[in-house]
Structure 1
Amino acid sequence: MSTVDNTPRWLAVAALAKIKNGAYSNLQLNQLINEHRMDRRDINLLTNMVYGVIQHRLTLEFWLKPFVRHPHQLDPWVRELLLSALYQWQYLDKIPQRAVFNETIEIAKVKGHPGIRRFVTGVLHQMDRSGLPAFDTIEDPDERLSVTYSMPVWLIQELRQQLGATKMEAIIASLNQPAKQSLRVNTALSTVSDVTTALTNDGLTVEPSKISPLGLVVTDGQAINTEAMRYGMFTVQDESAQLVVPALNVQPGDQVLDACAAPGGKTTQIAAELDADAGGEVVALDIHANKVRLIGQNAARMHVADRVTATDLDARKVQTQFDDESFDRILVDAPCSGLGLMRRKPEIRYEKQLQDSLNLQKIQLAILAAVAPTLKKGGIMTYSTCTILQQENQDVIAKFLADHPEFELQTTPTEQDLKADRTDKTLSIYPDDYLSDGFFIACLRKK
């Protein structure tokens, strides 16, 4: 076997070819990392290349097009090899162009026949001689933005209409920046100070989140492999996602419904606020039995299993198992398009269309309508999504309130008093605001 088979560059090309055929980037990366022995530097390069090529795909394809007559007729691995070479050449300053071209040609030589090697060599050398096409050659302004930021035209137009041109461009520009490694401290077991100390002692560099009082951001090192992670002192969770549970204002003895719970990040955050001896319990639902098991595993690792009851049930059928006014608090972290996660899951931008949001809106409203009767009078129901489109956020809340006058909208609180000058009672966190995930949170009180 050639040593090329185990290099980060070849593994990245192999992963990208599979991701183009429907494999999720994070799952494909985890599989490759588990199957091949790599040091931390190689893992970082592999991860950077896979996410980088996906993030910048439209830009890279624009640059490649003048040099390949029919790029989509190439074998997938050859196309991804050329795109990954372009990505390294244009975006990774620390890797010399010569090294990028040499290893790209070597991969073509080992993995393909002599004709493929000659073809790849010719394309790379012609790109070097001729230079890459400039964005200002694109006449249509939306198409130019699409290629510059590698973002679909429909999303550019929709965000401009909803938020204005300046905010739209700030959002799409921010989404190509690296995602932060953010953690939530498990208050059932530890403190922010103790976790900071434990990670620092393990050689990591950690700073407090500016968004969540329970959040930490790791700026150097990998927290997932530490003893503190295995013991459940913290979990990996984006800073924006950490804002949802505090908005519920959970009390120790509350009965809480987490209607769309898997994989259980917010379930365990709720459970940390509960006291099993006082009768506190969170009922965590998911439609898939295998995901329910994942909730249970997370609850056990975080030492809150005595306060969590996980069951497979479609939230739209909650009244088949629970009486009216069963819960003090309800969380509907609704299934959504996930467009706020594009920094972390870059392939989402190419998979979604506006119609997906409109279809999801129907599901989101159905879940809210189904669980609403099970909330006690005076109770709080928090609705959240990890998307940035009004169709799944403000429009859902407006339609729900129109049909349910027994509910009133309250101002979404945050302990750090985020966006204190906003006029909306709901809270919208956009990806450019704090370089965290995009999130929407609304608090509804039952009169």
Structure 2
Amino acid sequence: MPKKTLRSNNPRLLAAVTLAKVKNGAYSNLQLNQIIKQNPLKDSDKGLLTSLVYGTIQYRLLLEYWLNPFVKGKKMEPWLKELLLTALYQWKELDRIPKHAIFNETIEVAKTLGNVGAGKFVTAILHSMDRHGLPDPAKIKDETKRLSVTYSVPEWLVAELSKQLGDKKTESILQSLNHAPEQSARVNTAKTTKAAVKESLEAEGYKVKDGPLAADALIVSGGHVASSKAYQEGLLTIQDESAMLPVEALHIDDSVKSVLDAAAAPGGKTTQIAQYLSDGARVTALDIHDHKVKLIAQNAARMGVADRVDAMALDARKVPEELQQEFDRILVDAPCSGLGLLRRKPEIRYDKTMADVEHLAKLQLDILEAAASKLKKNGYLVYSTCTILNQENDGVVAAFLAKHPDFVQVKTETKLAVQADRETLALKLYPDDYQTDGFYIATFQRKE
């Protein structure tokens, strides 16, 4: 960190400080929220700060590729390197800011956080980049490295996706990750109707259209939907469309009286299950951490479905010995690598390794087996993840079926018949298919 940690209304300065802390292990969203709370920023500057932080994280490998030839062998404070990366991000990715303004502001921040010498160093680097031009990643001969640098995704992940999906689909996925996600919300049908929520949002000036994938989804633009009256009244919640589909795949109808949500926090899918339940039916929602169980309860209360939700702290692997009840439906939305969320959570790509993926696959199988033991005969169990690697998806499903002949995999079906003509039983949504999060959804039935 720079020695001069100070309150500031300069978004470029705060971006460099924030990114240095994130690179040192802080969570980007928490760090950014803290910085915004602690410093006097106009709304437009909050927007620029957010864009600089997430944009620099998202494009980090490409930005470093551009910067490296100009700083080889030069020792830099972490904040100084981050400052130069933010300058590159603004210069190459934010068309609305003139180059001279970016250079001048960056030099002034270097002087403020460092000293006159830091300002001179930054001046020399920026002018050298401008004079000589930036290296072109298209000229990288190794295909995996070229894709890795161009789309800022680690080489191991590019190589694994190419192996599983082929080069063309992999590049299509990578290309889609740098498009901003649309804002989707789920209507709370326990309290209202889709038409009423649309009308309410439009009255407040939002633009609203139906989501193409999920029955209760709305795509909202023209403002942050969490500030809307409908959100405050619990008439909707923010949720990616693809994340709404696992609950649809449970086929909850009036005959369903009991549902287990085995890895439930923060409660988005729990409240969706609850809104589909008939009177007297209940969902038991588990999480291993007490503070996350409180989150589930808070979400259920906000959505007006608390009377249908039993939230409890329990490691889902202990379900066989701790829960006596059997359930009509079970959802295992398993802890996963989150590699389907790269558009929304850009730093995930740098945090995960293949060893993490393999470890998670074992955990997922353990949770799936434990939860499945409490499914009633003829009941349905849905296994879902927000990742796109086979090890955590088809691999876990195959391992489960090999050990449990009393279960059969059936075709995953959703209310709007998403990809109904596909050949696979599981539903696989990749980030480039519909510009949503990547998701995997497999459905099982327990035999008589």
Under a length normalisation based on structure 1, what TM-score does the superposition of the two structures give? 0.96
Q: Which residue of 1 aligns with 2:375?
A: 375
Offset, 1:37: 4.2
Offset, 1:227: 2.0
Check 1:229–1:310 CA distance in 2 against 1; reply closer, same or farther (3 A cut): same
Counterpart of 1:348, as a letter, is I
Q: Which residue of 2 aligns with 1:171?
A: 173
Q: Which residue of 2 aligns with 1:326?
A: 326
Cα RMSD between the aligned structures?
A: 1.6
* C-alpha distance in structure 2 between counterparts of 1:375 and 1:439, whole Å: 23
For the 8 Å contact 1:274–1:281, the answer to whether it is kept is yes
* C-alpha distance in structure 1 between counterparts of 2:186 and 2:13, whole Å: 35
Counterpart of 2:286, as a letter, is L
> Residues 192-247 of structure 1: CA distance to partner in whole angstroms, max 9, x if unpaired?
22221212221222222111121111222111112211111111100100111010
Q: Secondary structure at 1:26's aligned position in 2?
A: helix
* C-alpha distance in structure 1 between counterparts of 2:40 and 2:302, whole Å: 27
Counterpart of 1:232, as a letter, is G
Q: Does 364-373 or 302-311 show the bigger shift?
A: 364-373
Q: Which residue of 2 aligns with 1:124?
A: 126
Counterpart of 2:398, as a letter, is A
Q: Which residue of 2 aligns with 1:317?
A: 318
Check 1:242–1:39 CA distance in 2 against 1; reply closer, same or farther (3 A cut): farther
Q: Which residue of 2 aligns with 1:268?
A: 271
Check 1:203–1:40 CA distance in 2 against 1; reply closer, same or farther (3 A cut): farther
For the 8 Å contact 2:8–2:40, the answer to whether it is kept is no
Q: Which residue of 2 aligns with 1:255?
A: 258
* C-alpha distance in structure 2 between counterparts of 1:143 and 1:423, whole Å: 33
* C-alpha distance in structure 2 between counterparts of 1:132 and 1:378, whole Å: 61
Residue number among 21, 33, 37 corresponding to 1:34 in the alignment: 37
Check 1:205–1:3 CA distance in 2 against 1; reply closer, same or farther (3 A cut): farther
Q: Which residue of 1 aligns with 2:220?
A: 218
Counterpart mapping for 1:93-112 below 5 A: 93-112=95-114
Q: Secondary structure at 2:157's aligned position in 1?
A: helix
* C-alpha distance in structure 1 between counterparts of 2:393 and 2:360, whole Å: 11
Q: Does 30-39 or 141-150 show the bigger shift?
A: 30-39
Q: Secondary structure at 2:343's aligned position in 1?
A: coil
Q: Secondary structure at 2:381's aligned position in 1?
A: strand
Counterpart of 2:143, as a letter, is P
Counterpart mapping for 1:8-407 below 5 A: 8-70=11-73, 73-252=75-254, 253-275=256-278, 278-323=279-324, 326-407=326-407
* C-alpha distance in structure 1 between counterparts of 2:209 and 2:387, whole Å: 26
Q: Secondary structure at 2:433's aligned position in 1?
A: helix
Q: Percent identity, aligned pairs only?
A: 55
For the 8 Å contact 2:208–2:220, the answer to whether it is kept is yes
Q: Does 89-98 or 207-216 show the bigger shift?
A: 207-216
For the 8 Å contact 2:184–2:218, the answer to whether it is kept is yes
Q: Does 249-258 or 2-11 show the bigger shift?
A: 2-11
* C-alpha distance in structure 1 between counterparts of 2:293 and 2:259, whole Å: 17
Structure 1 unmatched runs, 5+ = none
Offset, 1:31: 2.2
Offset, 1:36: 3.3
Give the number of equivalent residue pairs.
443
For the 8 Å contact 1:2–1:110, the answer to whether it is kept is no
Q: Does 400-409 or 180-189 show the bigger shift?
A: 180-189
Q: Which residue of 2 aligns with 1:5?
A: 8
Q: Does 352-361 or 428-437 show the bigger shift?
A: 352-361
Offset, 1:102: 1.1
Offset, 1:29: 2.1
Q: Secondary structure at 2:118's aligned position in 1?
A: helix
* C-alpha distance in structure 1 between counterparts of 2:228 and 2:419, whole Å: 34
* C-alpha distance in structure 1 between counterparts of 2:388 and 2:318, whole Å: 27
For the 8 Å contact 2:340–2:388, the answer to whether it is kept is yes
Offset, 1:4: 8.5
* C-alpha distance in structure 1 between counterparts of 2:397 and 2:77, whole Å: 47
Check 1:13–1:291 CA distance in 2 against 1; reply closer, same or farther (3 A cut): same
Q: Secondary structure at 1:27's aligned position in 2?
A: helix
Counterpart of 1:184, as a letter, is R
Q: Secondary structure at 2:241's aligned position in 1?
A: coil
For the 8 Å contact 1:334–1:384, the answer to whether it is kept is yes
For the 8 Å contact 1:4–1:107, the answer to whether it is kept is no
